Amino acid sequence: MRLNSIRTKITFSALAVILFSFLISHLVICLKSYGDLKHQLLKDEDIVLSKVAENINYTLLDVKAIADSITIDSEIESYLRKTTQKGSFESYRDSEIIRQKLKLYKSLGNKIYSISIIKQNGDISSTSNDGNYLAVLSGETNFDEDLDSFYQMIALPSLNNSKSIKIVNYSKKIYDSNSYKSILGKLVIGINYDSIVNAFSALDLEYTRYCLASKSGEIIYSTDSTLNEISDNFLNSIIAQGSSATSFETKDSFIVVNNDLENGWILVELISKNKIYNRIWSGLLFTIVFGIIIMVIASIIIAAIMLTVTTSIKKLRDAMKQVASGDLNTSIEIKSNDEIEELSQVFNTMIQNINNLIEAVAIEEKKRKNYEMITLLTQINPHFIYNTLSSVIYLARQGRTKDIIDLIVSLIRMMQRTISYSEEFAILKEELEYINDYITIQKIRYGDVFNLVVKTDKDFDEYKIPRMILQPLVENSIFHGILPKEEPGVITIEVKKNDNKLLLSISDDGIGMEECSLKNIMDGSTPFRGSDKYINIGLKNIMNRLKLLYGDSYSFEIKSEVGKGTTAEFAVPIE
């Protein structure tokens, strides 16, 4: 194997690329995997935290729904309006009736510890008989504070003194339905603490710790009592931000925060960085081992492929040398089922067609010329069609049936000439009829603001000129000559004969143009009378067609004078 052969170069280059790619890819993996895994981990944990928040919210919203029903209960409202002496039999009787009512509401939620109503005079009607709990409620005498919140967590001793019962209270003012500003009393619903923290029971705590805090910064629940990283200042800063989901990073942990809970409660999750480190190293180890195996296999396959490819390339090289020496009967046959085989087939096809190249080029040139002519011939300003159809709608609304018929008939004839005829030339009579149809449409649209005068001789009717060569010039006279003048004008088409040439001129008595603008138009650096791209295309269309059809045996000129009008003239050989 020669060191400077293509086989050697490709083989060693491929191996070098594989090795370099392997090293770079693992470097990138090492640098990027930490960030990617961190992002994915935080995303996954945020989903977990959102699920926990959803479960807790289910309990809280259920309680609020029951509270809303109680505060609008007419029987409870009547009880609160009624004034009885505290401690009297009547007060006790009414309280007992309401207590039975509250028990019915309590049965609607299995997570409720008690429901209590506190009157302005301090009377309490509660489903709870726990004296300790009622003692706490007896201190609820402030009816002016902002309620409708889960505001307090208390621990009550159990009956067997084995473990205290934790309660989270929810308070809501009860207003008089006859006067919303009048407060009749206060509703307090005690929620079993365990019904809230059960949302954490199914979580994986190997690398993660969780806590639930109130909007005042008080930790309501935590899975680990050693959450020293969450300081009061940190919780307060999270509460102040008010975002729906945030994440932070400390020296040893990632912290994910969810603020979607009712009444400003927040969920905080601390994730040990060991969790992400374990994922990174296990992934990297697998990637390195797998990459080494792939590199060895790829090296073997590439070496075998290079041997096959370079052999086919050598055959193709030898065949090209024969062609370079003048042997046009050379052919090559390669069966490799790849691009080299396709290249050999293309090579053989090229040799077979080379002797016909001049003829093929001539044929293609003629086709190109015909195609360009057809393309130029069929260019129509789409604004013209749009405006014409808009005029039909307007005339229909005005009930001008005759004008609609005239307009549509003229448009149909114009479209038939545009679509149906493929010849490059038309007799002068047909082109003037085409212009008459165009003028008919425009006069229906704009009224008698212009007139068309045609000066010709019937002997010229059968002379041929390029099809649709006059319309763009007449259109320019209307829109950029007569209409801007804002007074009636005249467009004149004059046909003359000079020796063996036909002279045609289209003139108007419109606003004209300055000499510098005229010079730029003829140079092709400025659109003909304005920035309308279709007018510019029309002028280019005319000049390109005349060039294609007559070579250098035509002439085209534009003359203009400001305030007097513009004349476009061209001369073509008589056909």
Does 404 lie in the same domain as 365? no
Q: Is residue 172 assigned to a domain?
A: yes
Q: Is residue 104 assigned to a domain?
A: yes
Q: How confident is the model at residue 20 (pLDDT cuts 50, 70, 90)?
A: confident
Q: How confident is the model at residue 573 (pLDDT cuts 50, 70, 90)?
A: very high
Q: Is residue 526 assigned to a domain?
A: yes
Q: How confident is the model at residue 494 (pLDDT cuts 50, 70, 90)?
A: very high
Q: Is residue 229 predicted with pLDDT exceeding 60?
A: no
Q: Is residue 469 assigned to a domain?
A: yes
**Alpha-carbon gap, residue 186 to 174, rounded angstroms:** 6
Does 531 lie in the same domain as 480? yes
Q: Which residues of 354-383 are buried (b: 16+ CB within 10 A; e: fewer)?
A: eeeeeeeeeeeeeeeeeeebeebbeebbee
Q: Which of 328, 348, 371 is the last residue of a domain?
A: 371
Q: Mean pLDDT check: name the lowest of 118-122, 125-129, 223-227, 497-501.
A: 223-227
How confident is the model at residue 567, as a pLDDT?
93
Does 454 lie in the same domain as 364? no
Does 386 lie in the same domain as 437? yes
Q: Is residue 353 assigned to a domain?
A: yes
Does 490 lie in the same domain as 354? no
Amino acid at site 304: A
3-class secondary-structure state, position 375: helix
Dihedral over Cα of 355, 361, 362, 363: its sign: positive
**Alpha-carbon gap, residue 55 to 322, rounded angstroms:** 82
Does 479 lie in the same domain as 543? yes
Q: What is the CATH number of the domain that holds 515?
A: 3.30.565.10
**Alpha-carbon gap, residue 97 to 100, rounded angstroms:** 5
Q: Is residue 254 assigned to a domain?
A: no
Q: Is residue 497 predicted with pLDDT exceeding 80?
A: yes
Q: Is residue 44 predicted with pLDDT exceeding 50?
A: yes
The per-residue pLDDT for range 417-447, each reduced to its tens digit, is 776 656 778 889 989 998 998 888 888 888 8
**Alpha-carbon gap, residue 44 to 123, rounded angstroms:** 50
Does 355 lie in the same domain as 430? no
Domain that holds residue 344: 339-371
**Alpha-carbon gap, residue 359 to 376, rounded angstroms:** 26
Q: Span 238-262, mean pLDDT?
A: 70
How confident is the model at residue 34, as a pLDDT?
66
Q: What is the CATH number of the domain that holds 115?
A: 3.30.450
Q: Is residue 507 predicted with pLDDT exceeding 90?
A: yes
The per-residue pLDDT for range 329-361, each reduced to its tens digit, is 777 777 777 777 788 888 788 877 776 675 676
Does 459 lie in the same domain as 354? no
Q: Is residue 152 predicted with pLDDT exceeding 70?
A: no
Q: Is residue 291 predicted with pLDDT exceeding 70?
A: yes
Does 386 lie in the same domain as 534? yes
Q: Which two tokens stand for residue 242?
A: 């008010």
Question: What is the share, in percent, of the chain residues with pLDDT greater than 90?
Answer: 7
Does 419 lie in the same domain as 480? yes
3-class secondary-structure state, position 172: strand
The per-residue pLDDT for range 546-555, each reduced to its tens digit, is 888 888 899 9
Q: Is residue 469 predicted with pLDDT exceeding 90?
A: no
Does 179 lie in the same domain as 111? yes
Q: How far is CA 538 from the centre of its chain?
A: 37
Q: Is residue 91 assigned to a domain?
A: yes
Q: Which residues of 403-438 are buried (b: 16+ CB within 10 A; e: fewer)?
A: bbebbeebbebbeebbeeeeebbbbbebbbebbebb
- Burial label for 184, CB within 10 Å (0-12, 13-18, 19+), is buried
Q: Span 382-392, mean pLDDT?
A: 75
Q: Which of 347, 371, 395 is the last residue of a domain?
A: 371
Q: Which of 171, 196, 221 is the last residue of a domain?
A: 196
How confident is the model at residue 248, as a pLDDT?
74
Q: Is residue 322 assigned to a domain?
A: no
Dihedral over Cα of 478, 438, 474, 377: its sign: positive
- Burial label for 573, CB within 10 Å (0-12, 13-18, 19+), is middle
Question: What is the share, in percent, of the chain residues with pLDDT greater than 70?
Answer: 78
Q: Is residue 158 predicted with pLDDT exceeding 60?
A: no
Does 538 lie in the same domain as 420? yes
Residue 542 in contact with residue 569, Cβ under 8 Å? no
The per-residue pLDDT for range 87-143, each reduced to its tens digit, is 677 777 888 888 888 888 888 878 888 888 888 777 788 888 777 777 777 776 666
Number of domains in the chain: 3
3-class secondary-structure state, position 259: coil
